[in-house]
């Protein structure tokens, strides 16, 4: 199991956080597209590191075209000497249409075509294939030598896809190199729904599990004393209530018989009642989705609930210093 760590996208913080992550022995670092650009921070991360893999987790795919994604991913992979992973996610319709002012339709089908288009562009650049991609949503047929990169010695980047529901999970298994398991999952949903869906789809597509990675950002909050624990549990309830308000994520709640929470949380989110939503999350729900505790407790929880299937995990166990962090990461890797 590889150990990844999320770094902030505040550009002045990136160099120090990446150097620290690499010194502690992390295998990768990831940036999320929240209030800042996830790609720009990774340019700095590549400059200030030598070994860690660099991933967007996630970049919003539908806010961009296949060509812009292909270019950005190529540049980062070339600059980092083959260490970049293009992690994509669909986001949800209101963000795509109202925040990014971009089109939305049949997200799983559109995502599959977008990834295939990126791969077709890369086949042109890396393999010399003629660019002749025709799809329902994207068409790419023009590429001249002036616009073809020549620094292709590090090969194509990997593509990971974030998914929750079965259709997007199937898309990841069909055309991506890995699945970014959403933090809003549970051990039961992962083992009983996600993993079987991936394996069945890959078998039908003639793909091998060995060529695919499961990556999970753990729903965890570190607390080293009782006062911190109370705050940590409330922060996790806020995260769970935020994700739980999203209609697309209702299947995870349904899996445990908690589906009635979703419409109530959704209604409250539209009223801006973010703190009040957290109080709607019972302790049972929190303790099923994640853990608040010491770095050692978080480590044990991950191993107990996800060991054996995950290829990489995003978790921060550095609160008590580098010695314990290295020990706990070694324990995770052995899982």
Annotated domain spans of the chain: 2-221+294-333, 225-293
Q: What is the pLDDT of residue 268?
A: 96
Confidence of residue 55 (pLDDT cuts 50, 70, 90): very high
Q: Which residue has the tokens 């990556």?
A: 215
pLDDT above 90 for 227? no
In tens, the pLDDT along 94-118 reads 999 999 999 999 999 999 999 999 9
- Mean pLDDT computed over 9-15: 92
- Phi, psi of 28, rounded to the nearest 5 degrees: -155, 160
Per-residue pLDDT tens digits for 153-174? 999 999 999 999 899 999 999 9
Q: Which of 127-131, 178-182, 253-257, 307-311 has the least mean pLDDT?
A: 307-311
pLDDT digits (tens, 9 = 90+) for 134-158: 999 999 999 999 999 999 999 999 9
The pLDDT of residue 224 is 86
pTM above 0.75, yes or no: yes
Tell whether the model's pLDDT for residue 251 goes beyond 90: yes
- Asked whether residue 335 carries a pLDDT value surpassing 90, the answer given is no
Mean pLDDT, rounded, of the chain: 95
34, 9 in Cβ contact below 8 A?
A: yes
% of residues, the chain, pLDDT over 90: 95
pLDDT digits 0-9 by tens, 169-223: 999 999 999 999 999 999 999 999 999 999 999 999 999 999 999 999 999 999 9
* Distance between CA atoms of residues 122 and 66, nearest Å: 10
Looking only at Cα atoms, what is the longest distance across the chain? 62
DSSP string, 40-86: HHHHHHHHT-SSSEEEES-EEGGGS-HHHHHHHHHHHHHHTTS-EEE
CATH superfamily of 2-221+294-333: Luciferase-like domain (3.20.20.30)
Give the per-residue pLDDT at 9. Answer: 83
- Return the pLDDT at 248: 86
Q: What is the mean pLDDT of residues 267-280?
A: 94
Instruction: Say what the pLDDT of residue 226 is.
Output: 86
Length of the chain measured in residues: 335
Q: How confident is the model over 281-306, as a mean pLDDT?
A: 95
Contacts 24+ apart (CB under 8 A), 259-266: 261/285, 265/241
The pLDDT of residue 305 is above 90:
yes
Mean pLDDT of 59-84: 98
The confidence band for 80, taking pLDDT boundaries of 50, 70 and 90, is very high
Rg of the Cα trace of the chain?
20
């Amino acid at each position: 199991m590889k150990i990844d760590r999320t770094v902030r996208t505040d550009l002045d913080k990136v160099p120090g956080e990446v150097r620290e992550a690499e010194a502690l022995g992390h295998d990768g670092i990831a940036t999320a597209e929240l209030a800042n650009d996830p790609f720009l921070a990774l340019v700095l991360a590549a400059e200030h590191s030598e070994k860690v893999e660099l991933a967007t987790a996630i970049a919003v795919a539908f806010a961009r075209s296949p060509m812009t994604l292909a270019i950005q991913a190529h540049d980062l992979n070339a600059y980092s000497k083959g260490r970049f992973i293009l992690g994509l996610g669909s986001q949800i319709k209101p963000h795509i249409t109202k925040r990014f002012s971009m089109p939305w339709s049949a997200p799983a089908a559109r995502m599959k075509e977008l990834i295939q288009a990126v791969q077709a562009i890369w086949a042109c650049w890396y393999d010399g294939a003629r660019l002749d991609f025709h799809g329902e949503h994207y068409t790419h047929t023009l590429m001249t030598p002036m616009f073809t990169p020549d620094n292709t010695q590090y090969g194509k980047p990997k593509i990971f896809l974030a998914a929750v529901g079965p259709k997007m999970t199937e898309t990841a298994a069909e055309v991506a190199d890995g699945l970014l398991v959403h933090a809003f999952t549970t051990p039961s949903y992962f083992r009983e729904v996600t993993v079987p869906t991936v394996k069945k789809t890959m078998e039908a597509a003639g793909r091998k599990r060995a060529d695919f990675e499961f990556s999970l950002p753990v729903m965890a909050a570190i607390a080293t004393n009782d006062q911190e624990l109370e705050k940590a549990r409330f922060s996790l309830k806020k995260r769970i209530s935020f994700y739980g308000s999203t209609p697309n994520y209702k299947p995870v709640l349904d899996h445990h018989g908690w589906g009635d929470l979703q419409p109530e949380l959704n209604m409250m989110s539209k009223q801006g009642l973010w703190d009040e939503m957290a109080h709607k999350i019972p302790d049972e729900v929190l303790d099923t989705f994640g853990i608040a505790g010491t770095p050692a407790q978080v480590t044990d929880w991950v191993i107990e609930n996800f060991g054996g299937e995950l290829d990489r995990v995003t978790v921060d166990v550095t609160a008590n210093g580098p010695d314990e962090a290295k020990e706990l990461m070694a324990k995770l890797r052995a899982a």
